């Protein structure tokens, strides 16, 4: 609040005259205790670098849209993570996040991480910077979160040290290099800080869980003010949240085919074949968590399969008594598997809503004047995170609808673990001794808990100075940066051979106790011998005879049996980055409109990543997924800002006009040479109106995962496009039919790959080229002179992505072959057909990463800002006096126009306007400050969307039997206040989701949910 930073002040002053749309959450932070004269302002304003440029300038008029968040906005709202603030900006969404919302899978090597995705184009296409420089990634090449790439986990950025965050859309690549396809997010940290600040925040998620955050910021000068050092310390604790504890997830709804007689007829008196009905509490009637028991190997309770002769279904007692009790199949739907209610599989009982973590951050920024006009700055980050997903699924599922080791288990009524009453009951149902089948989700064995221990260490040293040539001053910088991140992961797996051996029991004649048959049976038929894993043929993977511990499938497992059948699967990720960079900037000559700003620089960047598993997965039959690789890129770049018209030329309709140009040459030793360039225009017809225009061509380099993921054998089914059942499908059925005929296949061809998997190979591709993108933005900013503090802006964004990298399945490859007009093409060489047209059982295909996809994105952004003292408000200002405070408004709107995607180049789909890709998102901030009090109201609005952009009439029916086509709009409100007890101490409190929005059944069915109200209280003390 009481910020003496000259740089921060100059930014805010420049914003008042310039083009940056700022969220200025705190009027108090921007207000000065006394008015500043125009002369004083001129003395304070200094040339600074703006995101997207190395040229220092007084104004912030970039040719691309830039938004920024200041530190007051972050502090006032008690934000404890660097990602939270930017999510309030239009077009900014989370990439990987700990909020997985009841997902059935964990983030693996990325537990607890937060990454940013501009426009939802993928976090791998957003470049995240710290102080204008890249930062070491934490995204593992195997098991990483989201898409492969060098995404930055912004958890590593200390919140207390953030001065502001600048977000540049569709720009920055010529200056910063590859990967800035959607834009750049630049976290600018405090420097030359003096004082001490301590903060604590407590956040309660509607009583479900709580977070704690402690932050300290300490800084001061040394060596007679030649140097300054600032140290930031942070500790954050977030609890793991189970989906079953969140009412919005536990009270689940799903959409399924209605049962016979429950459908809703359309205007023609027919029930559409694709109709689905909203039903509560979806349960899969194929197993239960205590064990569904059936007379045959199949259990599909919706169809009555698995019922006993008396017409009933039975399961073992969920309480663990070992008795048989009734199994409630629920209310059948028309879906084969899913019922409403009952005792079937409920995934949300075992899923995770949020991954928990503990995070420790130590950051140091020190600068020292080595000599006159020569400064050394050293930045150090040393962070650690311990993250966990306490269990998101059972370790093992067995059901008659699964195959292999997941099939239903067969037991005989002679099994010694059966109680006498249960054996009698089963034999009564069977008509005597016999076999029965067991369908179970084995939650009693434990869940798939994952634990990650992560560390990030980054060191950067930069020399900066300036020199004069005549009457011109040039700045230069030379820096070296080294970053190392590591992730140690551990999860529990089930050793399937030992699991079966532990279930195969009898009574040991020597001990009279229940024991594994393997322990006392010579030449045990279940003996498995591992091959090619470093074991000799005499070593049985069941362990030495006598070590098997029997497992009671109908009761509570012993610790010994769990130790025998479970194993720890461990993996280690290591990522290294080194950057040598430098630049020179200054004004090289004058034009009538002013000096021509110029900058040139170089960057040599090395990236390396590896994942090393412990080998335990191979021992149980899984493929070796160890991965290692790297690349080096050597880049040079230049940029110029050319003033064409200046205001003092006094040309009507041409107040100012300038051109921005930038170019970068990339030489990547893996993906080759490429060029990035941008040309922009800033035009002011009058002082109050600015028009900006920019076109950019940029690239994204292939990620280490995409290049070096090991090629392993894989089994895949395929929807063969030349199968008679599929000839009428595809983007152009005529093209598909002609190409299949050219292949020599008859029109009645039946592909065996539809029902029998084929074995082939899948993995990385070291021949990948760069993704390519062309982008354009045009915008207008209006800052009326008749209303000080008011501005409006509009920006239109158009991004065309080509040669995008995607991972192709066998089906994708075959579609790309037969649906293309250039048949036969390169994809046709990636699979084989035998003489009869069938794919061979072995060596049938090679799949994996390819350059093939296209994406066309168009959107518009609108913002409106107004900030003023109440006494200066038009029309109403006379009703207030100077003690009544100030009121500010900020509203932004993001309108999605097109989001067209094709993996092959001819199968475009565009789901914009669907529930997970809304057409319109808006947010607003209203802030009132008076004296030592600041209050704010944040509003977040999502427009109504289609349930399915390709839906047909009467396809979706709600729980009341009414057709629907839309998911309703939603508006969430957050309210909070900050009170300054003194200049040194402030307290804050806020409520998110003030009116306790919760998802309706329609919204729940498409994955929308909330915790309910979230409360935050915090304290900051400054010294």
How many CB atoms sit inside 10 A of residue 829's CB?
11
| DSSP assigned state of 372 | T
pLDDT in tens, 818-861: 999 999 998 999 999 999 999 999 999 999 999 999 999 999 99
* Residue 880 confidence (pLDDT) above 50: yes
Q: What is the rounded average pLDDT for all residues in the chain?
A: 89
Tell me what pLDDT residue 327 has.
97
Tell me what pLDDT residue 970 has.
96
Residue 936 binned pLDDT confidence (cut-offs 50, 70, 90):
very high
Tell me what pLDDT residue 978 has.
97
Tell me what pLDDT residue 57 has.
63
Which residue, 489, 400, 406, 390, is CA-closest to 442? 406
pLDDT in tens, 405-421: 899 999 999 999 999 99
Tell me what pLDDT residue 944 has.
96
Q: How many residues does the chain have?
A: 1023
* Burial class for 836, CB neighbours closer than 10 Å (0-12, 13-18, 19+): exposed
C-alpha to C-alpha distance for 481 and 467, rounded to whole angstroms? 24
Token representation of residue 94: 């989370």
C-alpha to C-alpha distance for 271 and 274, rounded to whole angstroms? 9
Give phi and psi for 347, each to the nearest 5.
Answer: -60, -30
pLDDT in tens, 592-612: 999 999 999 999 999 999 999
* Residue 306 confidence (pLDDT) above 90: yes
* Residue 44 confidence (pLDDT) above 70: no
Q: Which residues contact 121 (CB under 8 A, 6 or more apart)?
A: 181, 182, 799, 801, 855, 857
DSSP assignment string, 743-796? TT--TT---GGGTS-EEEEEE--TTPPPEEEEEEEEEEEE--TTSTTEEEEEEE
Tell me what pLDDT residue 9 has.
31
Give phi and psi for 456, each to the nearest 5.
Answer: -135, 125
Beta strands in 396-449 (DSSP E): 397-398, 409-412, 435-441
Residue spans per domain, the chain: 704-1022
Tell me what pLDDT residue 106 has.
57
C-alpha to C-alpha distance for 900 and 890, rounded to whole angstroms? 31
Q: What percent of the chain has pLDDT over 90?
A: 74
C-alpha to C-alpha distance for 715 and 621, rounded to whole angstroms? 14
Cβ contact 383:358 at 8 Å? no
Q: Which residues contact 451 (CB under 8 A, 6 or more apart)?
A: 111, 386, 387, 388, 489, 490, 491
Which residue, 848, 831, 846, 843, is CA-closest to 764? 848
Which residue, 301, 271, 297, 272, is CA-closest to 286? 301
Residue 598: its H or E element: strand 594-613
Which residue, 71, 77, 94, is CA-closest to 12? 71
Q: Rounded mean pLDDT of 72-78?
A: 91
C-alpha to C-alpha distance for 437 and 401, rounded to whole angstroms? 12
pLDDT in tens, 520-558: 998 886 544 444 334 444 467 888 889 999 999 999 999
DSSP assignment string, 870-909? GGGSTTTGGG--TTS-EEEEEEEEEEEEEEEEESSSS--E
- Of 228-232, 333-337, 881-885, the poorest mean pLDDT is in 881-885
Which residue, 763, 635, 626, is CA-closest to 707? 763
The Cα angle at residue 171 between residues 170 and 176, in degrees rounded to 5? 140
Q: Which residues contact 662 (CB under 8 A, 6 or more apart)?
A: 53, 174, 175, 637, 638, 639, 640, 677, 678
Residue 739: its H or E element: helix 733-742
Q: What percent of the chain has pLDDT over 70?
A: 92
Residue 727 binned pLDDT confidence (cut-offs 50, 70, 90):
very high
> Residue 762: beta bridge partners?
712, 847
Tell me what pLDDT residue 618 has.
65
Q: Which residues contact 27 (CB under 8 A, 6 or more apart)?
A: 867, 885, 886, 887, 888, 927, 928, 929, 934
| DSSP assigned state of 144 | -
SS3 of residue 517 by DSSP: helix
Tell me what pLDDT residue 49 has.
65
Tell me what pLDDT residue 33 has.
34
Q: How many helices (H) and strands (E) does the chain have?
A: 16, 51
C-alpha to C-alpha distance for 431 and 662, rounded to whole angstroms? 84
| DSSP assigned state of 247 | H
pLDDT in tens, 668-706: 999 999 999 999 999 999 999 999 999 999 999 999 999
| DSSP assigned state of 949 | T
* Residue 466 confidence (pLDDT) above 80: yes
Residue 619 binned pLDDT confidence (cut-offs 50, 70, 90):
low
Tell me what pLDDT residue 332 has.
94
Q: 546 versus 104: which is more confidently predicted?
A: 546
C-alpha to C-alpha distance for 407 and 395, rounded to whole angstroms? 14
Exposure on the CB side of residue 141, measured as CA atoms within 13 A = 29
pLDDT in tens, 354-393: 989 999 999 999 999 999 889 999 999 999 999 988 776 8
* Residue 14 confidence (pLDDT) above 60: no
- Of 236-240, 713-717, 795-799, the poorest mean pLDDT is in 713-717
pLDDT in tens, 994-1020: 999 999 999 999 999 999 999 999 999
């Amino acid at each position: 609040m009481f910020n003496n930073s000259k740089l921060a002040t100059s930014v805010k002053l420049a914003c008042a005259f310039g083009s940056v749309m700022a969220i200025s959450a705190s009027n108090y932070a921007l207000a000065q205790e006394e008015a500043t004269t125009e002369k004083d302002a001129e003395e304070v304003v200094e040339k600074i670098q703006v995101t997207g440029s190395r040229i220092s300038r007084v104004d912030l008029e970039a040719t691309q849209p830039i938004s920024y968040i200041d530190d007051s906005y972050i502090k006032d709202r008690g934000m404890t993570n660097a990602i939270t603030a930017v999510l309030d900006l239009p077009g900014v969404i989370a990439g990987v996040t700990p909020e997985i919302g009841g997902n059935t899978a964990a983030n693996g090597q990325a537990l607890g991480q937060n990454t940013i995705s501009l426009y939802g184009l993928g976090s791998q296409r957003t470049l995240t910077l710290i102080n204008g420089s890249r930062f070491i990634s934490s995204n593992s090449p195997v098991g990483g979160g989201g898409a492969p790439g060098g995404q930055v986990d912004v958890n590593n950025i200390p919140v207390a040290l953030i001065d502001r965050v600048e977000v540049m859309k569709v720009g920055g690549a010529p200056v910063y290099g590859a990967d800035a396809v959607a834009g750049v997010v630049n976290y600018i940290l405090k420097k030359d800080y003096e004082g001490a600040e301590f903060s604590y925040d407590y956040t309660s998620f509607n009583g479900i869980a709580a977070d704690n955050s402690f932050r300290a910021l300490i800084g001061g000068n040394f060596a007679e003010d030649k140097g300054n050092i600032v140290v930031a310390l942070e500790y954050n604790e977030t609890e793991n949240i189970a989906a079953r504890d969140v009412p919005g997830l536990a009270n689940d709804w799903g959409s399924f085919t209605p049962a016979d007689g429950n459908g809703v007829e359309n205007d023609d008196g027919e029930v559409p074949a694709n109709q689905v009905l909203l039903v509560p509490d979806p349960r899969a009637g194929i197993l239960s968590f205590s064990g569904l028991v059936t007379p045959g190997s199949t259990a599909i309770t919706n169809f009555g399969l698995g019922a006993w002769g008396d017409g009933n279904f039975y399961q073992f007692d969920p309480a663990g008594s070992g008795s048989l009790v009734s199994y409630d199949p629920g209310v059948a739907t028309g879906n084969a598997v899913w019922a409403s209610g009952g005792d079937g599989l409920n995934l949300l009982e075992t899923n995770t809503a949020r991954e928990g973590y503990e995070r420790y951050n130590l950051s140091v920024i020190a600068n020292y004047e080595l000599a006159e006009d020569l400064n050394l700055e050293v930045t150090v980050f040393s962070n650690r995170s311990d993250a966990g997903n306490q269990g998101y699924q059972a370790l093992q599922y067995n059901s008659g609808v699964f195959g292999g080791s997941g099939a239903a288990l067969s037991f005989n009524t002679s099994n010694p673990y059966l109680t006498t009453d249960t054996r009698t009951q089963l034999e009564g149902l069977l008509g005597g001794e016999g076999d029965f089948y067991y369908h179970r989700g084995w939650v009693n064995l434990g869940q798939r808990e994952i634990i990650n221990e992560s560390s990030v260490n980054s060191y950067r040293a930069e020399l900066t100075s300036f020199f004069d040539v005549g009457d011109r001053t040039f700045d230069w910088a030379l820096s070296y940066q080294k970053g190392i991140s590591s992730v140690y992961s551990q999860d529990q797996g089930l050793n399937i051979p030992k699991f079966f051996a532990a279930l195969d029991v009898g009574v040991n004649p020597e001990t009279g106790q229940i024991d594994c048959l393997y322990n006392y049976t010579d030449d045990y038929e279940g003996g498995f011998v591992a091959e090619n894993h470093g074991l000799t043929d005499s070593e049985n993977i069941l362990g030495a005879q006598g070590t098997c511990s029997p497992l009671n499938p109908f009761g509570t497992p012993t610790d010994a049996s769990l130790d025998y059948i479970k194993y720890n699967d461990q993996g280690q990720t290591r990522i290294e980055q080194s950057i040598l960079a430098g630049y020179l900037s200054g004004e090289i000559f004058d034009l009538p409109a002013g000096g021509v700003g110029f900058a040139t620089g170089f960057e040599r960047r090395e990236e390396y990543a590896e994942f090393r598993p412990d080998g335990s997965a191979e021992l149980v039959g899984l493929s070796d997924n160890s991965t290692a690789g790297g690349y080096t890129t050597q880049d040079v770049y230049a940029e110029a800002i050319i003033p064409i018209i200046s205001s003092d030329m006094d040309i009507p309709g041409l107040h100012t006009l300038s051109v921005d140009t930038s170019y970068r040459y990339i030489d990547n030793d893996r993906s080759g040479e490429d060029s990035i360039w941008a040309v922009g225009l800033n035009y002011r017809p009058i002082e109050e109106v600015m028009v900006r225009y920019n076109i950019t061509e940029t690239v994204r380099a292939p990620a280490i995962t995409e290049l070096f993921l090991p090629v392993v054998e894989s089994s895949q089914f395929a929807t063969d496009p030349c199968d008679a059942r599929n000839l009428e499908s595809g983007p152009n059925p005529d093209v598909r039919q002609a190409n299949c005929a050219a292949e020599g296949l008859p029109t009645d061809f039946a592909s065996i790959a539809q029902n029998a998997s084929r074995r082939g190979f899948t993995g990385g591709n070291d021949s990948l080229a760069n993704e390519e993108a062309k982008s354009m933005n045009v915008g207008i900013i209006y800052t009326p002179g008749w209303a000080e503090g008011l501005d409006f802006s509009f920006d239109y964004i158009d991004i065309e992505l080509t040669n995008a990298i995607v991972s192709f399945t066998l089906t994708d490859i075959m579609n790309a072959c037969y649906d293309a007009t250039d048949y036969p093409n390169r994809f046709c060489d990636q699979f084989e057909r035998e003489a009869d047209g069938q794919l061979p059982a072995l060596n049938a295909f090679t799949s994996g990463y390819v350059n093939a996809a296209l994406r066309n994105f168009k959107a518009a952004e609108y913002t409106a800002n107004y900030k003023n003292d109440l006494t200066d408000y038009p029309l109403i200002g006379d009703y207030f006096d100077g003690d009544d405070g100030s009121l500010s408004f900020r509203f932004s709107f993001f309108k999605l126009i097109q989001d067209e995607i094709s993996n092959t180049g001819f199968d475009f789909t565009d789901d914009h306007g669907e529930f997970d890709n809304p057409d319109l998102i808006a947010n607003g901030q209203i802030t009132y400050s008076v004296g030592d009090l600041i209050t704010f109201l944040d509003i977040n609005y999502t427009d109504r969307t289609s349930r399915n952009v390709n839906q047909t009439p009467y396809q979706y029916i709600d729980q009341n039997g009414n057709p629907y086509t839309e998911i309703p709009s939603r508006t969430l409100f957050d309210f909070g206040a900050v009170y300054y007890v003194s200049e040194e101490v402030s307290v804050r409190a806020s409520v998110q989701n003030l009116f306790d929005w919760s998802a309706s059944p329609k919204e729940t069915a498409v994955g929308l949910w909330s915790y309910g109200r979230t409360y935050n209280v915090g304290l900051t003390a400054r010294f």
